[in-house]
């Protein structure tokens, strides 16, 4: 009988042409039921103790408001500062679909929150979802947003978010009085609950990864429909849209289409978003907001070097570079060295340590560290930068490119596609109007045979080659970087996505 009923429903839904709207209505109703059940379960233990025969009516009051969005969100975001021109513009927009292009260090996150405040004011959303490219950027964004909304109102979910929630619970326990320290089992239960709320995007604010959001639309996990119901009442911010590879951008193009059909407000943000992506992702109907003032600043000087930073194969590090880094370290500079692969980053770090750089003054950051160790490294580095302790050396891979609010005095980097170079440079003299001697030194990555080493950018070889040819040796603005992105990606196209077919199959 159950199988027959499911078959009947499938036949009915197959006849519906507007699948996104059908899915939106179904999941929204489901989320109301599941959300009510969730809230009732959370409160049952507290209220049951008050119940006595004949007193139920006296105990049951209005449904509890466990979380609420602040009514003074704009004040919390601006903190008495005058908004930049583009921030004021986006805060007054009434369009539900927006593209924001602004340089690193110019307050894109604050602009997104001002936009969200406007969306809430129009009654078009009651929760906010930040969709981030990586786990690292998700963790960093959660920390930023808790300062605005409070820690209880901000959820987090990604592939390792349970470990992050355990760490948060442990840190909170360490701050509690000795007689109130939670037991490890209690910490684990708190982490599981927080992770679940993040997974279904139930809280007023949730930070998650783009892949989790995509899985939500295709029954990618057990509670996907509950989560998609919560998405129906959300506004979504996609940060660092330029970051993804061709395959993911193709899927996102289709996700944006589904969001438009469902009427879900969303904002796409990037510092170096090329025009080809706006065209091929069919974003022409979106309102475009640009930080023209910030784009005109020239915060760094580009310097090109033909010799490699490190030779792939024999792993020989450029001796002149090592001397230059050590000289800057002696002068108390904050310097970042960015490599294209983990092996190269490891070799450069090893040489600098062998040259006597103290352990507490240098960090190595890449994606292969186990989660706990990597988070400790990030926290240690961020704390040192916040406190202004100099000198500091950071040897990193591409993980430095997205959403990390850090800045250096000088950066040495291997050649990468133009948009990636622009994002790396966003961690150099961040937010400044003029270069004042701050240099972005770009090295050609070579193999031992003298060939250009394209890893990990083999699928965009022509873009890498065009980037080297077009790079000038001069003070550089983000307006110029955007122009060069358009040139180097002129012939780049997106591919065929799987999302439309999977979404169609997963409507019921």
Residues 464-473 have pLDDT tens digits of 999 999 999 9
**Preceding peptide of 391 cis, ω within 30°:** yes
Answer for the pair 98, 264: CB distance below 8 angstroms, yes or no.
no
Residues 6+ apart with CB under 8 A from 454: 445, 461, 464
The Cα–Cα gap between 179 and 166 comes to 20
Handedness of CA 102, 91, 84, 109 (dihedral sign): negative
- DSSP strand pairing (154-157 vs 300-305): unpaired
The Cα–Cα gap between 187 and 190 comes to 5
**Preceding peptide of 456 cis, ω within 30°:** yes
The Cα–Cα gap between 344 and 189 comes to 41
Q: What residue ranges in 102-188 does DSSP mark as E strands?
A: 127-132, 154-157
Phi–psi pair at 490, nearest 5 degrees: -55, -35
Let me know the angle formed at the C-alpha of 308 by 481 and 399, rounded to the nearest 5 degrees: 55
The Cα–Cα gap between 13 and 25 comes to 13
Q: Which two tokens stand for residue 318?
A: 């450029």
pLDDT of residue 1: 46
The Cα–Cα gap between 73 and 81 comes to 14
Segments of the chain scoring below 70 in pLDDT: 1-17, 42-67, 173-182, 403, 508
Answer for the pair 304, 414: CB distance below 8 angstroms, yes or no.
no
Q: Which two tokens stand for residue 69?
A: 């969005």
User: Hey, which residues does 440 pair with through a beta bridge?
Assistant: 302, 411
Handedness of CA 132, 138, 142, 148 (dihedral sign): negative
User: Hey, which residues does 100 pair with through a beta bridge?
Assistant: 269, 289
Segment (H or E) for 260: helix 246-262
Residues 6+ apart with CB under 8 A from 199: 157, 212, 221, 223, 227
CA distances from 426 to 180, 310, 423, 467, 481 (A): 43, 23, 5, 17, 11
pLDDT of residue 125: 96
pLDDT of residue 400: 86
CA distances from 247 to 130, 154, 243, 439, 497 (A): 21, 30, 12, 33, 7
pLDDT per residue as tens digits for the range 414-462: 999 999 999 999 999 998 999 999 999 999 999 999 999 999 999 899 9
Place of tokens 């927080």: 194
pLDDT of residue 22: 84
Q: What is the pTM of this model?
A: 0.89
| Among the listed residues 101, 110, 132, the one whose alpha carbon sits nearest the alpha carbon of residue 419 | 101
Q: Which two tokens stand for residue 273?
A: 């978003």
| Domains of the chain as residue ranges with CATH | 19-35+61-293 (3.40.50.300), 298-476 (3.40.50.300)
Answer for the pair 233, 125: CB distance below 8 angstroms, yes or no.
yes
| Among the listed residues 115, 137, 385, the one whose alpha carbon sits nearest the alpha carbon of residue 266 | 115
Place of tokens 């109703």: 29
Let me know the angle formed at the C-alpha of 126 by 124 and 130, rounded to the nearest 5 degrees: 100
């Amino acid at each position: 009988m159950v199988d027959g009923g499911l078959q009947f429903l499938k036949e009915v839904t197959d006849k519906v042409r507007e699948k996104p709207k059908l899915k939106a209505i179904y999941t929204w109703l489901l989320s109301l039921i599941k959300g009510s059940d969730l809230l009732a379960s959370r409160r049952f233990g507290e209220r049951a103790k008050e119940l006595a025969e004949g007193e139920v009516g006296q105990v049951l009051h209005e449904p509890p408001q466990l979380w609420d969005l602040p009514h003074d969100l704009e004040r919390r975001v601006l903190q008495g500062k005058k908004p930049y021109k583009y921030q004021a513009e986006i805060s007054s927009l009434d369009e539900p679909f927006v593209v924001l292009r602004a340089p690193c260090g110019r307050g894109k996150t604050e602009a997104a929150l001002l936009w969200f405040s406007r969306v809430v004011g129009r009654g078009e959303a009651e929760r906010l979802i930040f969709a981030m490219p990586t786990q690292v950027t998700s963790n960093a964004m959660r920390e930023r947003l808790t300062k605005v909304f409070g820690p209880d109102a901000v959820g987090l979910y990604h592939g390792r978010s349970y470990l992050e929630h355990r760490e948060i619970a442990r840190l909170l326990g360490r701050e509690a009085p000795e007689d109130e320290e939670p037991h490890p089992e209690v910490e684990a239960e708190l982490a599981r609950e927080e992770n679940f709320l993040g997974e279904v995007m139930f809280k007023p604010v949730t930070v998650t990864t783009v892949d989790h959001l995509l899985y939500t639309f295709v029954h990618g996990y057990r509670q996907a429909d509950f989560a998609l119901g919560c998405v129906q009442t959300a506004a979504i911010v996609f940060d660092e849209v330029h970051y993804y590879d061709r395959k993911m951008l193709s899927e996102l193009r289709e996700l944006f289409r589904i969001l438009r059909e469902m009427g879900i407000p969303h904002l796409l943000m990037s510092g170096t978003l090329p025009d080809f992506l706006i065209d091929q992702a069919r974003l022409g109907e979106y309102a475009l907001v640009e930080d023209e003032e910030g784009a005109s600043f020239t915060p760094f000087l580009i310097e090109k070097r033909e010799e490699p930073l490190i030779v792939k194969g024999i792993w020989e590090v450029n001796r002149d570079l090592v001397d230059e880094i050590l000289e800057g370290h002696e002068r108390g500079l904050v310097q970042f060295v960015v490599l294209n692969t983990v092996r190269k980053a490891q070799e450069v770090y090893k040489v600098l340590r062998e040259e006597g750089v103290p352990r507490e003054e240098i960090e190595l950051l890449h994606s292969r560290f186990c989660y706990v160790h990597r988070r400790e490294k990030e926290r240690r580095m961020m704390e040192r930068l916040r406190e202004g302790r100099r000198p500091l050396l950071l040897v990193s891979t591409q993980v430095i490119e997205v959403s990390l609010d850090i800045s250096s005095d000088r950066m040495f980097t291997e050649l990468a596609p133009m948009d990636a170079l622009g994002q790396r440079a966003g961690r150099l003299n961040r937010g400044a109007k003029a270069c004042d001697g701050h240099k972005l030194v770009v090295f050609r990555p070579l193999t031992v045979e003298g060939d250009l080493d394209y890893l990990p950018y083999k699928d965009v070889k022509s873009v890498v080659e065009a980037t080297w040819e077009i790079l000038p040796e001069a003070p550089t603005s983000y307006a110029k970087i955007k122009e060069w992105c358009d040139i180097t990606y002129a012939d780049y196209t997106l591919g065929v996505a799987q999302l439309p077919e999977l979404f169609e199959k997963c409507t019921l």
